[in-house]
Amino acid sequence: MRIVERSSPNFGPRRDGLRPELIVLHYTAMATAEAALERLCDPAAEVSAHYLVAEDGRVWRLVGEAERAWHAGVGAWRGGGDVNSRSIGIELANPGPLAGFPPYPEPQMAALETLLDGV
């Protein structure tokens, strides 16, 4: 699997010495991976993820794992806040409700599995 670097401006330092202990998977709810890529890299959107995985298996790294991507809002998990500082965020290109929640294609799942092996 080849990872394409595409830097998002939407990130910051991890807070309070927190390190990744979670992986948060999202679906994009956008028509295409390219549309999601543009949004995740738009400074006005103030949203990002560490990785975006397209339906065909292409993978973009948008934020380095040492940094805090902005993908989980003010989320909390098991009593701990600041999920953004405690996680790696991975976006899966999928239109979700826009197209009746289609299944994730095999190339995308294979790329995700390979990515997860390295995270």
Q: What is the CATH number of the domain that holds 35?
A: 3.40.80.10
Give this prediction's pTM. Answer: 0.96
**Model pLDDT, residue 75:** 86
Would you say residue 61 lies in a domain? yes
- Inside any domain, residue 17: no
Domain that holds residue 31: 3-10+23-118
In a domain, 71, yes or no: yes
Q: How many beta carbons lie within 10 A of that of residue 38, not counting itself? A: 12
CA proximity to 54, closest of 76, 80, 73, 35: 35
Residue with tokens 């380095």: 64
Dist CA 46 CA 41 (whole Å): 8
16 part of a folded domain:
no
Q: Give the chain's domain count.
A: 1
Output the tens digit of pLDDT for each of the chain's 119 residues.
Answer: 899 999 999 999 999 999 999 999 999 999 999 999 999 999 999 999 999 999 999 999 999 999 999 999 998 999 999 999 999 999 999 999 999 999 999 999 999 999 999 87
Question: Which residues fall within 8 angstroms of residue 116, CB to CB, at 6 or more apart?
Answer: 23
Say which of 65, 91, 106, 113 is annotated catalytic: 91
Q: Is 106 a residue of the active site?
A: no
Residue 18 lies in a domain: no
